[in-house]
Structure formats: structure tokens, C-alpha cells
Amino acid sequence: MAYKISDSCVACGTCISECPVEAISAGDIYVIDPSKCIDCGTCAGVCPSEAIAPEA
């Protein structure tokens, strides 16, 4: 199950440098590529706005 970034994202960039497989793309709201995501949860653990969670 891949992680997803919600509209709460403030595009701070913290998660990008933490992703071990470079699955996160920058933008107004960041996006996680589900085909690259390895479900490690590292991005969710560092997100200051708690905008990242597992996809339901």
C-alpha cells in the first residue's frame, strides 16, 4: 500500500530528502508515485503538517 499526500501539504520539502526511492515529486502540493513507493513510512514520520498517510 503506497502513501498519499493530502491537501494539508505545505510543500516544505522535508519529505523529498527522506524518501529512499525518490518517489515524491515537488509541486504546489507534493505527490507520491505509488509505483515507486515502498511503503516505508519515512515521509509520514518527518512531515511537519501531518499531510502524509497510507492510502486507504
pLDDT at position 2:
92
Give the up-direction half-sphere exposure of residue 46: CA atoms within 13 A in the CB hemisphere: 12
- The b/e string for 26-38 (b: 16+ C-beta within 10 A; e otherwise) is eeeebebeeeebe
Q: What does the DSSP 8-state code read for residue 14?
A: H
pLDDT at position 33:
96
Do residues 53 and 14 lie in contact, with contact meaning Cβ atoms separated by under 8 Å? no
Domains and CATH numbers, the chain: 3-54 (3.30.70.20)
7-46 pLDDT, tens per residue? 999 999 999 999 999 999 998 889 999 999 999 999 999 9
Which candidate, 11, 40, 46, 48, places its Cα nearest to that of 23? 40
